[in-house]
Structure 1
Amino acid sequence: MIKIIQILPYRFWGGPEIQSFQLARQLAQEGFAKIDFIFYYSPACSADDLNLLKRKANEYEVKLEILTSPSIFQLLKARQHLARKIINYQVLVSSGYLCDLIAVGQSGIKTVSMVHGWTAQNFKIKLYENIDRFLLRFFNGVGCVSVQQIHYLTRKNIKAFLVSNCLDLEKPQANKSRVELLKFLNIQEPVKLILTVGRLSAEKGQQVALDAFSRLNADENNVHWIFIGDGPDLTTLQTTAEKLKLTRHTHFLGKLDLASDWMAECDLFVLPSYREGLPVVILEAISKKLPVIATDVGGNRELIQNEVTGLLVLPGQAQELSEKIQWGLQHSIDMKQMAEKAYGRLKDHFTLQKQSQLFQELINHVKS
């Protein structure tokens, strides 16, 4: 069994953490590899976030070390600490620009960088991500969650392997009833429910979503939009909703550990992002057979074939998004048929077993 150590940044429990832990458990069960983890947590990380990470490590039966995220001036110390840790491992896997800076060039071990996506959410992050893309050429292997990322890196003469995000379809799924959801929101039937899940920040496009929502005549059609997630734009989005007279029809629920529990009882899932890797939230929506409307960016187009398994819109186009939502709400049977096709494709291409196979191909290439 191959011994792997994986290092990741940590702000809150989300897609990359879920993907990493469930893959580690699967690889151990298959007898291919044992993965231990080091997480470098952000100063913005709360005690609840850290406790959740520890609980999840126990749930997935993985070994975990949690360290404070180093500043640029502490990188050398972090690299030295990692150099002492990796002596007993054969492969070092890292994710994100900070961890890649700590991992790149470590001696006596094969190195792999896993690319989940680049947000470019501000100038500082964009600079670090440009540095990260430069560093990728110095790793023994690179894994990407989407074909679009592989094409981008190929143009930069960097060889990369596809290791798609996935869902563990064998894991028991919990669902809340629609009655429970409506009671939680304090609204009554008849109603149409739109759901968006994700960090509340500019690159996720929630401002465009509210602009589109303002064109739907929510009062007359009794449409409500649920936003699950937190982030720096919460207050701005709430102010926008108030200015657009949408407060009564928008619900900012904050961060929910099991947001997918509500999905089966909604009418549409909308992801209005400007950038994406291969979003786990779309996979979760598909697994609940919830019809999806998403922007035509990144890995979204690998999960959604326009007018076949869902609807795609251009990013930043509020009018087009509004029209697609209106059509989707009026043609629920067509949307459900698309959702069924999306679910069939999920079972064929985005399972945990498929992800494990792809990851093993990457590791075997690196070790050969």
Structure 2
Amino acid sequence: MKSPIKNFIVFRLMKAVLMVNSDSLKGDMLKYPKLFGHHNVIRVYNGFERPSVEGESLDLRTRFDLPPETVLVGCAGRFSPQKGFDLLPDILSALPNHVHVVHAGDGEYEDTIKAAINARSESKRIHFVGYQSNMQAFFRSIDLFLLCSRNEGMANVLNEAMSFGIPVVSTRVPGSEELLAHGKYGVLTDVNDVQAMAEGIRSIVIGERVFQSADLRQWIDQEFGFQKMILETNRLFFETELK
């Protein structure tokens, strides 16, 4: 296996172009000016087709025998320390009892993380639906979305949630500030700051922070749409000269 230094040398000699999916990742590459510059590191966002808000959904309140006034905070992703799901009990401890979390996903650390959550009294307000082949139905079933990750490249689930017009709270991980336009289209918090995450959720629940669904959908469609990704990728591969 080649060392990173050898890989960089090969990259430089071949005059290759690196395509990344966020300005955060591009910035990381530009820290190595001998190898990377604006001419050979190109950012193309992951693109998503705008989904329909109408369609199949999961009847989560019936499934978990929850009253109609329950606020459902969605989380999604594999069970891993990176994703921060171990923080959910602490986040909920600072929120009213009618706020619940529903998590979709599975993963290597599922048993360990679930055991730690189930040891807390807040576990009765955390519900697991496992792996979902139809994530669109999941997104149509929640009231807001929480990304509590400690690190990401570009969190597609955050993009997907916003494309459904769902208000979001996210940690400041690579890509999230771009997706949320530095707080214009969602609440940003520091990593591991459970109080700030809880406050972000509370502010949306009580209507202190309002993010219009139509605005979120338009923003994602305009800046992170599938057609824009195709256009920019084609430009990267087929233009004779990179700008």
Q: TM-score range, shorter-chain basis?
A: 0.7 to 0.9
Match of 1:335? 210
Q: Summarize deviations over 1:190-225 as a string: whole Å, max 9, x none.
A: 21100011111011111123321222243xxx2210
- Alpha-carbon distance between aligned partners in 2 of 1:367 and 1:187, rounded to the nearest angstrom: 58
Structure 2 residue aligned with 1:293, among 169, 174, 184? 169
> Relative to 1, partners in 2 of residues 1:186 and 1:349: Cα closer, same or farther, differing over 3 Å?
same
Structure 1 residue aligned with 2:189, among 295, 309, 313? 313
Deviates more, 1:276-285 or 1:292-301: 276-285
- Alpha-carbon distance between aligned partners in 2 of 1:184 and 1:132, rounded to the nearest angstrom: 54
> Relative to 1, partners in 2 of residues 1:164 and 1:331: Cα closer, same or farther, differing over 3 Å?
same
Give the partner amino acid of 2:94: R
Match of 1:148? 24
- Alpha-carbon distance between aligned partners in 1 of 2:7 and 2:127, rounded to the nearest angstrom: 37
SS of 1:155's equivalent in the other structure is coil
> Relative to 1, partners in 2 of residues 1:131 and 1:267: Cα closer, same or farther, differing over 3 Å?
farther
Structure 2 residue aligned with 1:160, among 41, 47, 51? 41
Identity among equivalent positions (%) equals: 23
The question of whether the paired residues in 1 share the 8 Å contact of 2:166 and 2:216 is answered with: no
1:244 Cα shift? 1.8
Match of 2:202? 326
Scaled by the length of structure 2, the TM-score of the pair is: 0.85
- Alpha-carbon distance between aligned partners in 1 of 2:149 and 2:5, rounded to the nearest angstrom: 23
Give the partner amino acid of 1:290: I
The question of whether the paired residues in 2 share the 8 Å contact of 1:176 and 1:265 is answered with: no
Name which one, 1 or 2, has greater alpha-carbon Rg.
1
- Alpha-carbon distance between aligned partners in 1 of 2:11 and 2:181, rounded to the nearest angstrom: 32
> Relative to 1, partners in 2 of residues 1:135 and 1:196: Cα closer, same or farther, differing over 3 Å?
farther
Give the partner amino acid of 1:345: W
- Alpha-carbon distance between aligned partners in 2 of 1:136 and 1:228, rounded to the nearest angstrom: 41
SS of 1:166's equivalent in the other structure is coil
Match of 1:197? 76
> Relative to 1, partners in 2 of residues 1:175 and 1:136: Cα closer, same or farther, differing over 3 Å?
farther
- Alpha-carbon distance between aligned partners in 2 of 1:184 and 1:136, rounded to the nearest angstrom: 55
CA RMSD, 1 decimal: 2.7
> Relative to 1, partners in 2 of residues 1:225 and 1:321: Cα closer, same or farther, differing over 3 Å?
same
- Alpha-carbon distance between aligned partners in 2 of 1:367 and 1:331, rounded to the nearest angstrom: 49
**Mind listing any 5+ residue stretches in structure 2 that lack a counterpart?**
none
> Relative to 1, partners in 2 of residues 1:186 and 1:344: Cα closer, same or farther, differing over 3 Å?
same
Q: Whose strand fraction is larger, Structure 1's or Structure 2's?
A: 1
> Relative to 1, partners in 2 of residues 1:354 and 1:176: Cα closer, same or farther, differing over 3 Å?
same
Scaled by the length of structure 1, the TM-score of the pair is: 0.58
- Alpha-carbon distance between aligned partners in 1 of 2:157 and 2:71, rounded to the nearest angstrom: 20
The question of whether the paired residues in 2 share the 8 Å contact of 1:241 and 1:247 is answered with: yes
- Alpha-carbon distance between aligned partners in 1 of 2:7 and 2:150, rounded to the nearest angstrom: 19
Give the partner amino acid of 2:122: L
Structure 2 residue aligned with 1:278, among 136, 139, 154? 154
1:297 Cα shift? 1.5
The question of whether the paired residues in 2 share the 8 Å contact of 1:197 and 1:259 is answered with: no
Match of 2:55? 175
Pairing of 1:105-124 with structure 2 (within 5 A): none
Give the partner amino acid of 1:249: R
Match of 1:185? 64
Q: Summarize deviations over 1:95-124 as a string: whole Å, max 9, x none.
A: xxxxxx7xxxxxxxxxxxxxxxxxxxxxxx
SS of 2:181's equivalent in the other structure is coil
**Mind listing any 5+ residue stretches in structure 1 that lack a counterpart?**
1-71, 73-100, 102-127
Q: Which structure is richer in relative contact order (CA contacts within 8 A, separation 6 or more)? A: 2
1:250 Cα shift? 0.8
Give the partner amino acid of 1:175: G
- Alpha-carbon distance between aligned partners in 1 of 2:193 and 2:241, rounded to the nearest angstrom: 46
